[in-house]
Structure 1
Amino acid sequence: MRVALAAAVRSLPRGPGLAYEPKFDGHRLVVLRTAAGVVLQARSGRIVTSAFPDLAAAAGRLPPGTTLDGEVVVWHAGRTDFALVQRRAAATPARAATLATSLPASYAAFDVLELAGLDVRARPYERRRALLVDLLLPLGPPLQPVPMTTDPELAETWFETLPASGIEGLVIKRLDQPYPAGRRAWRKLRHTDVRDAAVIGYTGTARRPQALVLILPGAEEDPPAVSSPLSPQLRAETARALAARREEGAATEVAEVAEPAEVATATAIGLGEVTYTPLEPPLPAEVRATATRHPPPEVLRLRTDP
């Protein structure tokens, strides 16, 4: 199931026929309720049903032949917590049942693609939205439609106030738009300090990476930037991503990251020239970075899945 994608914009689009939704900070998840049961699919296509038994059980109440697109989130202390979603997604089947109780997941659905065996992707978003609300409101949590408004003033208020709840920004859709599978036909407005970047290398070793070497958007002609030191969780996550690449044989160069022969240099703020191991192809990451290099960019997460 190819999902719709969104292109980044720098200001809030306005005009007739637009809808605005909060962008939740979670894992993209397609819910497929088949005649045989429930399948949960990540954006990458990986099946993650066993990691979210609570959502799978809830989705069993959907009519067979129903497919939803949305985001799985975990709420903690009044806000969504991406690290806890990562923890849920990485759980073994045995551990997943325990985490489903201690860290229950919620599903923020923003589209319905199939309903009771009928493919509705060609219908306009406005109609699909009505079908989604009618489907989920009687069921209640943990399956819920995301909020939506056609009022740009309210959307702007959401953009300014909802980050305290863990909301990344807004997704903007046309009311007359069919579901754009595999295309960046939606638009997303993120808070300006959070950007996507390309990880082209790392310092330290493949088993204990210390920082990531980045190409920031809009700075492709500039020298690479070295991130601030990775948190213990991000070090472990990066090490797992590098190990997975070795195992999958994604590229000849990547297969050698454990004992690299090739090194390069980059300038790290406060440290000067540092050596790093190049990574090809790059890994996508989300970073917090200012328009300048002071302070150095902070890696928030790798985008290895959703």
Structure 2
Amino acid sequence: MLAKAVKKLPTGDFLYEPKWDGFRSIIWRSGDEVEIGSRNSRPMTRYFPEIVRAVVDNFPDHSVIDGEIILVDPTTGDRLNFDLLQQRIHPAASRIKKLSEATPASFVAFDLLALGQENFVERPFRERRAALEKALADAEAPIHLTRATLDPAVAEQWFEQFEGAGLDGIVAKPLGEPYVEDKRVMSKYKHERTADCVVAGYRLYRGESDAIGSLLLGLYTDDGVLNSVGVIGAFPMERRRELFAELQPLVTTFEDHPWAWAQPEETSPDNRDQSFPRTPTAAAHSRWNAKKDLSFTPLRPERVVEVRYDHMEGDRFRHTAQFVRWRDDREPKSCTYAQLDEPVSYDLGEVLGG
């Protein structure tokens, strides 16, 4: 079941929950057998052996539970780290074992689909939530039951506080609705901010030679280094071709570019080898999709664009940013991290332990 984005928190017959920033997953347990499926039905079981063990220890037998796989930053212990969570998806069994011990994941449960011989999918959410609370009453870390409230004022407070622990908003779930697969029955209320970024490159739209697929964004550090912070890419096709023509005068070589280290080699390194440095574009292909080309055309960093973003993951935008407008009145060097809002720190343990 999915959620639609809203501009303000809905009120009425809703239960409000923190919006967890991880891998949405449905977990099946039958005896000692456990299967973890991703939102797009990809098998995830082999990547999280520590979750499998915890499910056997904590889930009731013959159960199906919807939730989120998250990873608590092992360095700070007080916030989520999605970047480390992504690194858990690795083809080598030895690497999976090592990462499961070095950066163990957790599972936050928020819906019950089946228990024993009972199918809960067609029941209203208030019944599913009550049954889930009972089913996980004795669960211990790394299995958690998500916090929830009926009070929209408390949810608004969570919206402000929990971002400091790495969460990215609030989900409002109608208490009277059944579990409807692939339907946006729930509402997600997320942070939205703007930033002025330098456009430092572009990728072509799939299958096209004269249309922009995405623009690569940069921000300057205090010592004048241009960091890659993310991309924008939602444009109508006509605008993609217009952008391609507009940006051609800025095309340059990697030798004259701040990201010269990203120049493709004749033989690209294996992106799956974690010993290879993780850089914005140096990898020739995506770890998630080996056929996806991540090379780009470098541009002289002379244009500034205002974008909308929800929150940061380290020094990068967590999700794809959205185009707002060109800022020809801004000097590229003025586009620094200092303009970004920094959430007040909040202990993740307070969220998980509630």
**What TM-score comes out, normalization by structure 1 length?**
0.71
Distance 1:13 1:109 in 2: 22
Equivalent pair of 2:15/2:173 in contact (CA under 8 Å): yes
**Is this contact kept in 2: 1:54–1:104, CA < 8 A?**
yes
Match in the other structure for 1:240: 286
Could you list the runs of 5+ residues in structure 1 that have no partner in the other structure? 205-209, 247-256, 273-284, 299-306
Aligned partner of 1:71 among 68, 71, 76: 68
Which residue of 1 is the match for residue 107 of structure 2? 107
Q: Distance in 2 between matches of 1:240 and 1:12?
A: 35
Counterpart of 2:164 in structure 1: which amino acid? A
Judge which range, 142-151 or 287-296, deviates more. 287-296
- Mapping of residues 167-182 of structure 1, within 5 Å: 167-182=167-182
Deviations along 1:165-207, whole A, 9 cap, x unmatched? Answer: 001101111111111111111110110139xxxx942579xxx
Q: In 2, distance between residues paired with 1:224 and 1:128? A: 49
Distance (Å, rounded) in 1 between the aligned partners of 2:90 and 2:231: 25
- The Cα shift of 1:234 comes to 4.4
Residues 1:288 and 1:128: Cα distance change in structure 2 (over 3 Å): same
Deviations 1:32-56 (A, max 9, x none): 1124600111111111111100000
Measure how far apart 1:215 and its partner are: 3.3
- Decide which structure has greater strand share: 1
Give TM-score, length-normalised by structure 2: 0.62
Q: Which range moved further: 214-223 or 5-14?
A: 214-223
2:2 counterpart (1, 5, 8): 5
Call closer, same or farther: CA 1:217–1:68 in 2, change over 3 Å: farther
Given the alignment of the two structures, is residue 129 of structure 1 paired with residue 161 of structure 2, yes or no? no
RMSD: 3.9
Quick check: 1:94 aligned with 2:94? yes
Q: SS at the partner of 2:319?
A: strand
Aligned AA (2:291) = R
Counterpart position of 1:141: 141
Aligned with 2:320 (options 276, 287, 303): 287
Which residue, 45, 48, 53 being the options, matches 2:41?
45
CA contact (8 A) 2:29 2:56 kept: yes
Deviation at 1:98, TM superposition (A): 1.9
How far did residue 22 of structure 1 move? 0.4
Q: Is the counterpart of residue 214 in structure 1 residue 247 in structure 2?
A: no
Tell me, yes or no, if the aligned pair for 1:214 and 1:224 is still in contact at 8 Å: no
Q: Which amino acid aligns with 2:159?
A: F
**Preserved CA contact (<8 Å) 2:35 2:45:** yes
Equivalent position amino acid for 2:19 in 1: K
CA distance in 1, matches of 2:235, 2:150: 30
Separation of aligned partners in 2, 1:202 and 1:74: 29
Structure 2 unaligned spans of 5+? 195-203, 206-212, 217-227, 248-257, 263-276, 305-317, 338-354
Structure 1 match to 2:220: none
Q: Specify the code of the residue in structure 1 equivalent to 2:232.
A: L
Report the residue type matching 2:107 in the other structure: Y
The residue number in structure 2 matching 1:151 is 151
AA partner of residue 214 (structure 1):
I
8 A Cα contact 1:202 1:212, kept in partner: no
Please give the alpha-carbon distance, in whole angstroms, between the structure 2 residues aligned to 1:6 and 1:23.
11
Query: What secondary structure does 1:24 align onto?
Result: coil
Amino-acid identity (%) = 28
Report SS of the residue matched to 1:30.
strand
Which one has a bigger Cα radius of gyration? 2
> Does residue 31 in structure 1 map to residue 46 in structure 2?
no
Deviations 1:263-304 (A, max 9, x none): 9x99986159xxxxxxxxxxxx922457444589x9xxxxxx
Specify the alignment match of 2:221 in structure 1.
none
User: Letter of the aligned partner of 2:189 in structure 1?
Assistant: L
